[in-house]
Amino acid sequence: MQLSTNSITNSMVSATVKRNNVICAVLILLLVCIAAGSLAVGKYPLSLEKLLAGDEMQRKVFYNLRMSRTVVAVFGGAVLGICGFVYQTVFRNPLASPDIIGVSSGASLGAAVGILCFGSAAAITASAFAGAVLSVCLALLLSSADKTGKKSTIVLAGIAVHALAQTALMCLKITADPERELASIEYWIMGSLASVTSSRIGGNLLICILITIVLLFLHRQTILLSADEGEARMLGVSVSQVRLIVLLLATLAVSAVVSLTGLISFIGLLAPHIARLITRSNRISTMVFSGLTGGILLCSADILARSVAQTELPVSIFTSLIGVPLLIFLTLKGRNMS
């Protein structure tokens, strides 16, 4: 009995590990191919020959613009995917996303303040990041008034902060110059990687990488939070503290991404669903696949955003165009959405 149970466990675990390794390799290969495509696509034609020959213009475009843009698309998509997984698991809601606790609306408000008061790209990024973090801190502070620590209180506080930020944003839009500032605010909200340059991404990238590593290490605790609060507590989880840490980390990472790119729709929602479709479960491999899928989706959408028209289009148009059919497919398939 002991032997047969051991052998069943080992064979099942090794089969799952083998399958996941193959899928992981395929996803990484796909991501590398799409990232390579992203390096090649753009208004300014690049040639490998000139680049290797040390052409100054070619080098500037490649390293300052294309490389940094591709890196942000890959890592930004990965972070949105992983954080989407975290939000959906912690809130036990397949439609949960960073919006649920006010990240996006806070970032939009921060970006609007940056556009109206400072104007420089770096200041807009910093202001959007601060807006996102402040709005989430406010949501968590409001929710702490309820001593029971229910996650529904966090959602309600997030809705209140979202409404508040939207109201403030509307007031700022009214005061904005319609020709220049209002257009910039609207364009920022639609999301684009056009303004990403190598000089702006260092700090945000570091935050994203560090938090992603910590979130991956915390995957078991995140999945335990998907149980009822009392049940999770009786499994030895300090529910309120762990949930606060996980949500705060995910929010910081998302803030670091959206402050660079503007709002990007659907990646955080869809990537985890696609990953679950692959793994048919919620475990660390699902989290990793959410990241890889997020990177693939955002990088693909960004390639389309700068290649289908004469002028560059907002990336969210394409994330939605890719996302909506996938969402319909997933809904019809009936998986992961219950």
Segment contacting another protein (CB under 8 A): 26-34, 52-60, 236-244, 288-296?
A: 236-244
Of the residues 13, 163, 171, 308, which one makes contact with another protein according to CB under 8 A: 13
By CB under 8 A, is residue 221 in contact with another protein? Answer: yes
Contact 84, 294 (CB under 8 A): yes
> Does residue 60 belong to the site contacting another protein (CB under 8 A)?
no
Provide, rounded to whole angstroms, the least separation between the CB of residue 221 and another protein: 6
Region of 76-84, 121-129, 214-222, 259-267 interacting with another protein (CB under 8 A): 214-222
Tell me: does residue 5 bind another protein (CB under 8 A): yes
238 binds another protein (CB under 8 A): yes
Residue 100 found at the interface with another protein (CB under 8 A): no
Q: Which of 47, 103, 31, 46 has the alpha carbon at shortest distance from 249?
A: 103
Find the binder of another protein among 218, 249, 250, 267 (CB under 8 A).
218
- Closest distance between another protein and the C-beta of residue 84, in Å? 14
Q: Which stretch binds another protein (CB under 8 A): 11-19, 106-114, 184-192, 289-297?
A: 11-19
Interface with another protein includes 150 (CB under 8 A)? no
Pattern 239-268, binding to another protein, x per CB under 8 A? x-----------------------------
For position 236 contacting another protein by CB under 8 A, the verdict is yes
Figure out which of the listed residues 25, 146, 231, 329 binds another protein, where binding follows CB under 8 A.
231
**Listed ranges 97-105, 123-131, 212-220, 263-271: which one lies at the site for another protein (CB under 8 A):** 212-220
Residue 237 touching another protein (CB under 8 A): yes
**What's the per-residue H, E or C state across the chain?**
CHHHHHHHHHHHHHHHHHHHHHHHHHHHHHHHHHHHHHHHCCCCCCCHHHHHHCCHHHHHHHHHHHHHHHHHHHHHHHHHHHHHHHHHHHCCCCCCCHHHHCHHHHHHHHHHHHHHHCCCHHHHHHHHHHHHHHHHHHHHHHHCCCCCCCHHHHHHHHHHHHHHHHHHHHHHHHHCCCCCHHHHHHHHHHCCCCCCCHHHHHHHHHHHHHHHHHHHHCHHHHHHCCCCHHHHHHCCCCHHHHHHHHHHHHHHHHHHHHHHHCCCCCHHHHHHHHHHHHHCCCCHHHHHHHHHHHHHHHHHHHHHHCCCCCCCCCHHHHHHHHHHHHHHHHHHHCCCCC
| Least distance from another protein to the Cβ atom of residue 228, Å | 3
The single residue among 166, 226, 307, 320 that binds another protein, judged by CB under 8 A, is: 226
Residue 23 CB, nearest distance to another protein (Å)?
16
Q: What track of x and - describes contact with another protein for positions 268 through 307 (by CB under 8 A)? A: --------x---xxxx------------------------
Give the tokens for residue 252: 């910081």
